[in-house]
Structure 1
Amino acid sequence: MTVELIRTPILKNATSNDHEGFRISHRLSSEFRAGFLSDGLEYTINKMSKWLVAALFGALIIWKHDGEALWIAMGCAMNCWLAIALKNILNHKRPISTLRSDPGMPSSHSQSIFFGVLFVILSMVKYVGLNGNTVVAGVLTLSSGSYLSWLRVSNKFHTISQVLVGAVVGAIFSALWFQAWYAFVLQAFTASFGVRIAVFLGSASLCVCFLLYIFKNGLTEEL
Protein backbone atom coordinates (compact mmCIF):
# COMPACT_ATOMS: atom_id res chain seq x y z
CA MET A 1 0.00 0.00 0.00
CA THR A 2 2.81 2.34 0.83
CA VAL A 3 4.45 1.61 -2.49
CA GLU A 4 1.24 2.36 -4.38
CA LEU A 5 0.78 5.66 -2.56
CA ILE A 6 4.28 6.72 -3.53
CA ARG A 7 4.11 5.52 -7.14
CA THR A 8 0.81 7.17 -7.99
CA PRO A 9 1.90 10.85 -7.58
CA ILE A 10 5.19 10.09 -9.27
CA LEU A 11 3.37 8.71 -12.32
CA LYS A 12 0.98 11.66 -12.31
CA ASN A 13 3.85 14.14 -12.13
CA ALA A 14 5.70 12.34 -14.93
CA THR A 15 2.62 12.39 -17.16
CA SER A 16 2.02 16.08 -16.42
CA ASN A 17 5.64 16.93 -17.22
CA ASP A 18 5.45 14.98 -20.49
CA HIS A 19 2.35 16.91 -21.58
CA GLU A 20 3.95 20.23 -20.63
CA GLY A 21 7.13 19.34 -22.50
CA PHE A 22 5.11 18.36 -25.55
CA ARG A 23 3.20 21.67 -25.50
CA ILE A 24 6.44 23.68 -25.22
CA SER A 25 8.08 21.65 -27.99
CA HIS A 26 5.03 22.08 -30.23
CA ARG A 27 4.94 25.85 -29.60
CA LEU A 28 8.66 26.25 -30.35
CA SER A 29 8.31 24.16 -33.50
CA SER A 30 5.38 26.28 -34.70
CA GLU A 31 7.28 29.51 -34.01
CA PHE A 32 10.32 28.19 -35.88
CA ARG A 33 8.25 27.21 -38.92
CA ALA A 34 6.50 30.60 -38.92
CA GLY A 35 9.83 32.43 -38.68
CA PHE A 36 11.35 30.34 -41.44
CA LEU A 37 8.44 30.95 -43.80
CA SER A 38 8.37 34.70 -43.14
CA ASP A 39 12.12 35.37 -43.16
CA GLY A 40 13.58 32.47 -45.13
CA LEU A 41 11.12 32.62 -48.00
CA GLU A 42 11.47 36.39 -48.44
CA TYR A 43 15.26 36.09 -48.31
CA THR A 44 15.21 33.34 -50.96
CA ILE A 45 12.91 35.33 -53.25
CA ASN A 46 15.15 38.36 -52.80
CA LYS A 47 18.24 36.35 -53.73
CA MET A 48 16.52 34.99 -56.83
CA SER A 49 15.06 38.30 -58.01
CA LYS A 50 17.98 39.41 -60.20
CA TRP A 51 18.20 35.96 -61.82
CA LEU A 52 14.45 35.93 -62.37
CA VAL A 53 14.59 39.29 -64.17
CA ALA A 54 17.62 38.15 -66.20
CA ALA A 55 15.85 34.90 -67.14
CA LEU A 56 12.71 36.74 -68.26
CA PHE A 57 14.71 39.11 -70.44
CA GLY A 58 16.74 36.21 -71.80
CA ALA A 59 13.56 34.32 -72.71
CA LEU A 60 12.12 37.45 -74.37
CA ILE A 61 15.29 37.98 -76.41
CA ILE A 62 15.40 34.33 -77.53
CA TRP A 63 11.68 34.39 -78.39
CA LYS A 64 11.84 37.60 -80.43
CA HIS A 65 15.38 37.13 -81.85
CA ASP A 66 15.14 40.33 -83.89
CA GLY A 67 16.52 43.86 -83.87
CA GLU A 68 14.31 44.95 -81.00
CA ALA A 69 15.54 42.01 -78.92
CA LEU A 70 19.13 43.14 -79.49
CA TRP A 71 18.13 46.68 -78.53
CA ILE A 72 16.52 45.39 -75.32
CA ALA A 73 19.64 43.40 -74.46
CA MET A 74 21.80 46.46 -75.01
CA GLY A 75 19.46 48.53 -72.83
CA CYS A 76 19.59 45.97 -70.01
CA ALA A 77 23.39 46.01 -70.01
CA MET A 78 23.63 49.81 -70.21
CA ASN A 79 21.08 50.17 -67.39
CA CYS A 80 23.21 47.92 -65.18
CA TRP A 81 26.39 49.85 -66.05
CA LEU A 82 24.55 53.07 -65.22
CA ALA A 83 23.60 51.72 -61.80
CA ILE A 84 27.21 50.75 -61.07
CA ALA A 85 28.47 54.17 -62.17
CA LEU A 86 25.90 55.99 -60.03
CA LYS A 87 26.83 53.89 -57.02
CA ASN A 88 30.46 54.93 -57.32
CA ILE A 89 29.60 58.58 -57.92
CA LEU A 90 27.05 58.97 -55.10
CA ASN A 91 28.92 56.64 -52.69
CA HIS A 92 25.90 56.34 -50.39
CA LYS A 93 26.23 53.83 -47.54
CA ARG A 94 23.88 50.90 -47.15
CA PRO A 95 21.73 50.67 -43.99
CA ILE A 96 23.95 47.86 -42.64
CA SER A 97 27.39 48.25 -44.17
CA THR A 98 28.57 44.85 -42.95
CA LEU A 99 26.10 43.05 -45.24
CA ARG A 100 27.62 44.53 -48.41
CA SER A 101 30.75 46.61 -48.75
CA ASP A 102 29.78 48.49 -51.92
CA PRO A 103 27.66 51.68 -51.96
CA GLY A 104 23.88 51.36 -51.98
CA MET A 105 22.58 54.36 -53.95
CA PRO A 106 20.81 53.57 -56.17
CA SER A 107 19.61 50.01 -55.67
CA SER A 108 20.71 48.22 -58.84
CA HIS A 109 18.10 45.53 -58.18
CA SER A 110 15.20 47.99 -58.22
CA GLN A 111 16.74 49.86 -61.16
CA SER A 112 16.96 46.66 -63.21
CA ILE A 113 13.53 45.48 -62.10
CA PHE A 114 11.78 48.74 -63.02
CA PHE A 115 13.64 48.97 -66.31
CA GLY A 116 12.03 45.62 -67.12
CA VAL A 117 8.66 46.46 -65.59
CA LEU A 118 8.17 49.63 -67.60
CA PHE A 119 9.52 48.09 -70.80
CA VAL A 120 7.02 45.23 -70.48
CA ILE A 121 4.11 47.61 -69.79
CA LEU A 122 5.04 49.91 -72.68
CA SER A 123 5.44 46.93 -75.02
CA MET A 124 2.01 45.56 -74.08
CA VAL A 125 0.37 48.90 -74.74
CA LYS A 126 2.30 49.28 -78.00
CA TYR A 127 1.37 45.87 -79.43
CA VAL A 128 -2.06 45.22 -77.87
CA GLY A 129 -3.34 48.68 -77.06
CA LEU A 130 -4.67 50.15 -73.86
CA ASN A 131 -7.61 48.03 -72.71
CA GLY A 132 -8.85 46.15 -69.67
CA ASN A 133 -6.48 43.23 -70.18
CA THR A 134 -3.37 45.38 -70.51
CA VAL A 135 -4.40 47.46 -67.49
CA VAL A 136 -4.74 44.33 -65.33
CA ALA A 137 -1.51 42.87 -66.67
CA GLY A 138 0.25 46.20 -66.14
CA VAL A 139 -0.95 46.48 -62.54
CA LEU A 140 0.19 42.90 -61.81
CA THR A 141 3.57 43.58 -63.39
CA LEU A 142 4.00 46.81 -61.45
CA SER A 143 2.93 45.13 -58.19
CA SER A 144 5.36 42.26 -58.69
CA GLY A 145 8.22 44.65 -59.42
CA SER A 146 7.35 46.77 -56.39
CA TYR A 147 7.30 43.71 -54.13
CA LEU A 148 10.67 42.46 -55.38
CA SER A 149 12.12 45.92 -54.86
CA TRP A 150 10.63 46.20 -51.37
CA LEU A 151 12.44 42.99 -50.39
CA ARG A 152 15.70 44.95 -50.68
CA VAL A 153 14.44 47.17 -47.85
CA SER A 154 12.94 44.42 -45.68
CA ASN A 155 16.18 42.42 -45.91
CA LYS A 156 18.22 45.51 -44.88
CA PHE A 157 20.27 45.69 -48.10
CA HIS A 158 18.98 49.16 -49.02
CA THR A 159 17.12 52.10 -47.58
CA ILE A 160 13.74 53.17 -48.95
CA SER A 161 15.33 56.17 -50.68
CA GLN A 162 17.93 53.96 -52.39
CA VAL A 163 15.22 51.66 -53.72
CA LEU A 164 13.02 54.56 -54.84
CA VAL A 165 15.89 56.28 -56.66
CA GLY A 166 16.78 53.00 -58.37
CA ALA A 167 13.17 52.48 -59.43
CA VAL A 168 12.84 56.02 -60.81
CA VAL A 169 16.16 55.89 -62.68
CA GLY A 170 15.36 52.46 -64.12
CA ALA A 171 11.88 53.53 -65.23
CA ILE A 172 13.13 56.76 -66.85
CA PHE A 173 15.94 54.98 -68.64
CA SER A 174 13.49 52.30 -69.82
CA ALA A 175 11.07 54.89 -71.21
CA LEU A 176 13.85 56.74 -73.04
CA TRP A 177 15.30 53.50 -74.41
CA PHE A 178 11.90 52.29 -75.57
CA GLN A 179 11.09 55.62 -77.20
CA ALA A 180 14.48 55.80 -78.92
CA TRP A 181 13.85 52.49 -80.68
CA TYR A 182 10.54 53.54 -82.18
CA ALA A 183 11.48 57.19 -82.73
CA PHE A 184 14.56 56.70 -84.93
CA VAL A 185 16.56 53.49 -84.32
CA LEU A 186 13.99 51.13 -85.87
CA GLN A 187 13.85 53.09 -89.12
CA ALA A 188 17.63 53.26 -89.34
CA PHE A 189 17.94 49.58 -88.39
CA THR A 190 15.56 48.57 -91.19
CA ALA A 191 17.15 50.81 -93.81
CA SER A 192 20.86 50.35 -93.11
CA PHE A 193 22.91 47.18 -92.90
CA GLY A 194 25.62 49.13 -91.08
CA VAL A 195 23.19 50.11 -88.33
CA ARG A 196 22.14 46.48 -87.94
CA ILE A 197 25.78 45.47 -87.54
CA ALA A 198 26.37 48.29 -85.05
CA VAL A 199 23.37 47.29 -82.94
CA PHE A 200 24.43 43.64 -83.00
CA LEU A 201 28.05 44.35 -82.07
CA GLY A 202 27.07 46.91 -79.44
CA SER A 203 24.59 44.55 -77.84
CA ALA A 204 26.96 41.58 -77.87
CA SER A 205 29.96 43.51 -76.52
CA LEU A 206 28.03 45.18 -73.70
CA CYS A 207 26.41 41.91 -72.61
CA VAL A 208 29.71 40.01 -72.70
CA CYS A 209 31.47 42.73 -70.72
CA PHE A 210 28.74 42.71 -68.11
CA LEU A 211 28.84 38.92 -67.82
CA LEU A 212 32.62 39.08 -67.35
CA TYR A 213 32.09 41.70 -64.64
CA ILE A 214 29.64 39.41 -62.84
CA PHE A 215 32.02 36.44 -63.00
CA LYS A 216 34.94 38.58 -61.86
CA ASN A 217 33.05 39.82 -58.81
CA GLY A 218 31.53 36.43 -58.01
CA LEU A 219 28.17 34.99 -58.94
CA THR A 220 26.99 35.25 -55.37
CA GLU A 221 27.95 38.91 -54.94
CA GLU A 222 25.01 41.28 -54.71
CA LEU A 223 24.95 44.19 -57.14
Structure 2
Amino acid sequence: MPCLLFLLAPPPRPCLADSSKWLVAGCFAFAAIWKRDAEIMWVLLGAVGNSLLSLVLKKMLNHERPAPALRSDPGMPSSHAQSIFYAATVLALSLYYWLGTNYLTMILGPATLSLAAYLSWLRVSRGLHTLNQVMVGAVVGSAVGALWFVLWHWLVQEAFASSVLVRVAVILGSSAFCVSFVVYMIRHWLKDE
Protein backbone atom coordinates (compact mmCIF):
# COMPACT_ATOMS: atom_id res chain seq x y z
CA MET A 1 0.00 0.00 0.00
CA PRO A 2 2.73 2.59 0.79
CA CYS A 3 4.15 1.99 -2.70
CA LEU A 4 0.90 3.21 -4.25
CA LEU A 5 0.85 6.46 -2.29
CA PHE A 6 3.24 8.08 -4.78
CA LEU A 7 0.44 7.84 -7.37
CA LEU A 8 -1.88 9.91 -5.20
CA ALA A 9 0.65 12.50 -4.06
CA PRO A 10 1.00 15.61 -6.21
CA PRO A 11 4.13 15.62 -8.33
CA PRO A 12 6.93 17.91 -7.19
CA ARG A 13 7.43 21.33 -8.76
CA PRO A 14 8.25 22.04 -11.58
CA CYS A 15 5.89 19.71 -13.29
CA LEU A 16 5.12 18.72 -16.85
CA ALA A 17 1.58 19.99 -16.21
CA ASP A 18 3.00 23.49 -15.90
CA SER A 19 4.43 23.35 -19.40
CA SER A 20 1.80 21.25 -21.16
CA LYS A 21 0.39 24.26 -23.01
CA TRP A 22 3.86 24.98 -24.41
CA LEU A 23 4.30 21.30 -25.28
CA VAL A 24 1.04 21.23 -27.28
CA ALA A 25 1.81 24.57 -28.96
CA GLY A 26 5.31 23.35 -29.83
CA CYS A 27 3.95 20.13 -31.32
CA PHE A 28 1.52 22.08 -33.49
CA ALA A 29 4.31 24.42 -34.60
CA PHE A 30 6.57 21.47 -35.42
CA ALA A 31 3.76 19.78 -37.39
CA ALA A 32 3.10 22.99 -39.36
CA ILE A 33 6.77 23.40 -40.24
CA TRP A 34 7.18 19.71 -41.07
CA LYS A 35 4.03 19.18 -43.18
CA ARG A 36 3.48 22.62 -44.73
CA ASP A 37 0.23 21.70 -46.48
CA ALA A 38 -3.47 22.51 -46.43
CA GLU A 39 -4.34 19.60 -44.16
CA ILE A 40 -2.13 20.86 -41.34
CA MET A 41 -3.58 24.34 -41.80
CA TRP A 42 -7.03 22.78 -41.40
CA VAL A 43 -5.88 20.95 -38.26
CA LEU A 44 -4.43 24.19 -36.83
CA LEU A 45 -7.67 26.01 -37.60
CA GLY A 46 -9.50 23.26 -35.72
CA ALA A 47 -7.12 23.64 -32.78
CA VAL A 48 -7.86 27.36 -32.61
CA GLY A 49 -11.60 26.70 -32.88
CA ASN A 50 -11.31 24.06 -30.15
CA SER A 51 -9.53 26.55 -27.87
CA LEU A 52 -12.15 29.20 -28.50
CA LEU A 53 -14.89 26.64 -27.79
CA SER A 54 -13.20 25.93 -24.46
CA LEU A 55 -13.22 29.63 -23.56
CA VAL A 56 -16.92 29.91 -24.46
CA LEU A 57 -17.82 26.79 -22.47
CA LYS A 58 -15.89 28.08 -19.45
CA LYS A 59 -17.86 31.33 -19.50
CA MET A 60 -21.20 29.55 -20.03
CA LEU A 61 -20.72 26.86 -17.38
CA ASN A 62 -18.83 29.09 -14.91
CA HIS A 63 -17.80 26.03 -12.84
CA GLU A 64 -15.37 26.78 -10.03
CA ARG A 65 -11.97 25.15 -9.78
CA PRO A 66 -11.11 23.04 -6.74
CA ALA A 67 -10.88 25.02 -3.49
CA PRO A 68 -7.08 25.11 -3.21
CA ALA A 69 -6.56 26.08 -6.88
CA LEU A 70 -4.25 29.00 -7.45
CA ARG A 71 -6.40 30.34 -10.26
CA SER A 72 -9.79 31.97 -9.94
CA ASP A 73 -11.09 31.63 -13.50
CA PRO A 74 -13.71 28.97 -14.28
CA GLY A 75 -12.38 25.42 -14.60
CA MET A 76 -15.02 23.59 -16.65
CA PRO A 77 -13.95 22.24 -19.06
CA SER A 78 -10.19 21.95 -18.61
CA SER A 79 -8.80 23.82 -21.61
CA HIS A 80 -5.52 21.94 -21.23
CA ALA A 81 -7.26 18.57 -21.42
CA GLN A 82 -9.43 19.76 -24.29
CA SER A 83 -6.43 20.94 -26.32
CA ILE A 84 -4.32 17.90 -25.51
CA PHE A 85 -7.09 15.46 -26.44
CA TYR A 86 -7.89 17.39 -29.63
CA ALA A 87 -4.26 16.98 -30.71
CA ALA A 88 -4.02 13.35 -29.57
CA THR A 89 -7.24 12.37 -31.35
CA VAL A 90 -6.22 14.02 -34.62
CA LEU A 91 -2.78 12.41 -34.40
CA ALA A 92 -4.14 8.94 -33.62
CA LEU A 93 -6.73 9.12 -36.42
CA SER A 94 -4.09 10.43 -38.83
CA LEU A 95 -1.78 7.52 -38.00
CA TYR A 96 -4.53 5.02 -38.79
CA TYR A 97 -5.44 6.93 -41.96
CA TRP A 98 -1.85 7.20 -43.29
CA LEU A 99 -0.46 3.84 -42.14
CA GLY A 100 -3.56 1.67 -41.88
CA THR A 101 -4.19 -0.72 -39.04
CA ASN A 102 -0.94 -2.51 -38.21
CA TYR A 103 1.27 -3.26 -35.22
CA LEU A 104 2.82 0.22 -35.23
CA THR A 105 -0.49 2.08 -35.24
CA MET A 106 -1.97 -0.34 -32.70
CA ILE A 107 0.85 0.74 -30.34
CA LEU A 108 1.19 4.42 -31.25
CA GLY A 109 -2.54 5.25 -31.29
CA PRO A 110 -3.28 4.07 -27.74
CA ALA A 111 0.12 5.36 -26.54
CA THR A 112 -0.77 8.82 -27.83
CA LEU A 113 -4.12 8.78 -26.04
CA SER A 114 -2.48 7.41 -22.88
CA LEU A 115 0.04 10.25 -22.87
CA ALA A 116 -2.84 12.71 -23.31
CA ALA A 117 -4.63 11.11 -20.36
CA TYR A 118 -1.48 11.35 -18.22
CA LEU A 119 -0.86 15.00 -19.10
CA SER A 120 -4.51 15.77 -18.34
CA TRP A 121 -4.42 13.85 -15.05
CA LEU A 122 -1.53 16.04 -13.96
CA ARG A 123 -3.99 18.95 -13.88
CA VAL A 124 -6.06 17.05 -11.31
CA SER A 125 -3.04 15.98 -9.28
CA ARG A 126 -1.88 19.60 -9.09
CA GLY A 127 -5.29 20.69 -7.77
CA LEU A 128 -5.92 22.91 -10.80
CA HIS A 129 -9.03 21.02 -11.94
CA THR A 130 -11.46 18.42 -10.71
CA LEU A 131 -11.58 15.03 -12.38
CA ASN A 132 -14.93 15.97 -13.96
CA GLN A 133 -13.48 19.14 -15.46
CA VAL A 134 -10.63 17.19 -17.03
CA MET A 135 -12.95 14.43 -18.26
CA VAL A 136 -15.29 16.93 -19.90
CA GLY A 137 -12.31 18.66 -21.51
CA ALA A 138 -11.04 15.29 -22.78
CA VAL A 139 -14.42 14.30 -24.23
CA VAL A 140 -15.02 17.68 -25.89
CA GLY A 141 -11.47 17.84 -27.27
CA SER A 142 -11.69 14.28 -28.62
CA ALA A 143 -15.08 14.93 -30.21
CA VAL A 144 -13.91 18.15 -31.87
CA GLY A 145 -10.72 16.43 -33.06
CA ALA A 146 -12.64 13.50 -34.55
CA LEU A 147 -15.21 15.79 -36.17
CA TRP A 148 -12.51 18.06 -37.61
CA PHE A 149 -10.58 15.07 -38.97
CA VAL A 150 -13.72 13.62 -40.60
CA LEU A 151 -14.74 16.99 -42.05
CA TRP A 152 -11.36 17.28 -43.79
CA HIS A 153 -11.44 13.82 -45.29
CA TRP A 154 -15.12 13.73 -46.24
CA LEU A 155 -15.81 17.31 -47.29
CA VAL A 156 -13.06 19.90 -47.28
CA GLN A 157 -10.23 17.97 -48.96
CA GLU A 158 -12.20 17.39 -52.17
CA ALA A 159 -13.49 20.97 -52.24
CA PHE A 160 -9.95 22.21 -51.59
CA ALA A 161 -8.59 20.22 -54.52
CA SER A 162 -11.30 21.35 -56.94
CA SER A 163 -11.84 25.02 -56.08
CA VAL A 164 -9.37 27.89 -56.03
CA LEU A 165 -11.77 29.91 -53.89
CA VAL A 166 -11.84 27.18 -51.22
CA ARG A 167 -8.02 26.97 -51.33
CA VAL A 168 -7.67 30.71 -50.83
CA ALA A 169 -10.27 30.72 -48.04
CA VAL A 170 -8.69 27.79 -46.17
CA ILE A 171 -5.09 28.97 -46.49
CA LEU A 172 -5.60 32.68 -45.85
CA GLY A 173 -8.33 32.18 -43.27
CA SER A 174 -6.36 29.55 -41.37
CA SER A 175 -3.14 31.56 -41.52
CA ALA A 176 -4.71 34.80 -40.32
CA PHE A 177 -6.78 33.09 -37.65
CA CYS A 178 -3.86 31.00 -36.36
CA VAL A 179 -1.32 33.84 -36.28
CA SER A 180 -3.69 36.19 -34.46
CA PHE A 181 -4.62 33.44 -31.99
CA VAL A 182 -0.97 32.55 -31.35
CA VAL A 183 -0.15 36.18 -30.61
CA TYR A 184 -3.16 36.43 -28.28
CA MET A 185 -2.31 33.17 -26.44
CA ILE A 186 1.38 33.96 -26.00
CA ARG A 187 0.50 37.34 -24.53
CA HIS A 188 -2.09 35.66 -22.27
CA TRP A 189 0.31 32.86 -21.19
CA LEU A 190 3.16 35.24 -20.46
CA LYS A 191 0.83 37.42 -18.42
CA ASP A 192 -0.24 34.37 -16.36
CA GLU A 193 3.36 33.42 -15.58
Q: TM-score, normalised by structure 2?
A: 0.90
Residue 191 of structure 1: CA displacement? 0.8
**1:166-220 deviation per Cα after TM superposition (whole angstroms, max 9, x unaligned):** 0000000000000000111001111111111101122122212322322443425
Which residue of structure 2 aligns with residue 129 of structure 1?
Answer: 100
- SS at 2:15 equivalent: helix
How many residue pairs get matched?
186
Do residues 102 (structure 1) and 65 (structure 2) align? no
Q: TM-score, normalised by structure 1?
A: 0.78
- SS at 2:11 equivalent: helix
| Runs of 4+ residues over 6 Å off in structure 1 | none
Which residue of structure 2 aligns with residue 10 of structure 1?
Answer: none
Contact 2:66 2:129 (C-alpha < 8 Å) held by counterparts: yes
Residue type matched to 2:41 in 1? L
Do residues 180 (structure 1) and 151 (structure 2) align? yes
Which residue of structure 2 aligns with residue 40 of structure 1?
Answer: 12
From the CA coordinates, give the structure whose radius of gyration is larger.
Answer: 1
Give the Cα–Cα distance (whole angstroms) in 1 for the partners of residues 27 and 187 of structure 2: 23
Residue correspondence of structure 1 range 6-45 to structure 2 within 5 A = 39-40=11-12, 43-45=14-16
- Segment drifting more, 201-210 vs 72-81: 201-210
Contact 1:96 1:157 (C-alpha < 8 Å) held by counterparts: no
Which residue of structure 1 aligns with residue 86 of structure 2?
Answer: 115
Give the Cα–Cα distance (whole angstroms) in 1 for the partners of residues 181 and 68 of structure 2: 25
Residue type matched to 1:59 in 2? F
Contact 2:69 2:127 (C-alpha < 8 Å) held by counterparts: no
**1:61-102 deviation per Cα after TM superposition (whole angstroms, max 9, x unaligned):** 111101101101101111111101100010000003651121
Give the Cα–Cα distance (whole angstroms) in 2 for the partners of residues 104 and 171 of structure 1: 18
Which residue of structure 2 aligns with residue 19 of structure 1?
Answer: none
Which residue of structure 2 aligns with residue 189 of structure 1?
Answer: 160
Residue correspondence of structure 1 range 27-176 to structure 2 within 5 A = 39-40=11-12, 43-96=14-67, 99-176=70-147
Which residue of structure 2 aligns with residue 203 of structure 1?
Answer: 174
- Tell me how large the CA RMSD over aligned residues is: 1.9
Listed as ranges, the gaps of 5+ residues in structure 2 are 1-5
Give the Cα–Cα distance (whole angstroms) in 1 for the partners of residues 156 and 129 of structure 2: 36
Residue type matched to 2:11 in 1? D
Contact 2:82 2:142 (C-alpha < 8 Å) held by counterparts: yes
